[in-house]
Chains A and B, each alone.
Chain A
């Protein structure tokens, strides 16, 4: 079936460094790619998303890039801060056989930013 692979599963960086999380997807028809952040004990929250008609999107210290040909997309966090420590999930849209859309999530990346 369709799937989304996410790497790495854990990432440890020093405060101020950059962090990159990569995801690959299998369905060439996928056209929506959100990223969710889940802090410890809290609910997932959308931090940025990208649609297939653009290659890059930026919001302050976070950016997402999309390569449709290679079917991969990445989250970039610059100047990391301790409050960036969380689990990050990527996702890709996918169609059910009945025509409805759903999201398929990656397994998550646990990011630790050390002061």
Chain B
């Protein structure tokens, strides 16, 4: 059974802080994704990675960066948190790329004050 975990369920940060969100999957998946989920907007892709040290920008990469040093771990970094980055952040992984089941983590609800 695929397991995707995220480092925190809830996080409260101050404007301007550097924020790290971590995601770990245990099924040796090549592909990992970071989405943010906002009411009425569905899930929007921030960044994705098809291999270790490989990253590609998604639809809304501004204000974010990512790191994938190991296959099982994909980190999302908010360099200087802003209030408009308050959201639910979901990590996902898949074996065969986009046209394959994406397994999601439980989500991190980030509040930036």
| Contacts from A to B (Cβ < 8 Å) | 1, 4, 6, 9, 31-32, 34, 42-46, 49, 51, 89, 91, 93, 96, 98, 100-108
Contacts and interface: CB of A to CB of B under 8 A. Distances in A.
Interface residues of B, number: 22
Q: Secondary structure of the B side of the interface? A: loop
A106 B90 CA distance: 16
Contact of B40 (A34, A45, A91, A107): A107
B16 interface: no
B102 interface: yes
Interface of B: 4, 40-45, 48, 50, 56, 58-59, 90, 97-99, 101-102, 104-107
B104 A43 contact: yes
A43 B106 contact: yes
A46 B56 contact: no
Contacts of A31: 99
Contact of A44 (B43, B44, B97): B43
Contacts of A42: 106
A89 B42 contact: yes
Given A51-B99, A102-B98, A105-B42, A44 B56 contact: no
Given A43-B107, A101-B99, 9 more contacts: A1-B59, A6-B42, A34-B101, A46-B101, A89-B42, A91-B43, A102-B59, A105-B43, A107-B41
Nearest to A6: B42
Given A9-B40, A43-B90, A44-B90, A103 B102 contact: yes
Contacts of B56: 96, 98, 100
B58 A102 contact: yes
Contact of A32 (B43, B90, B98): B98
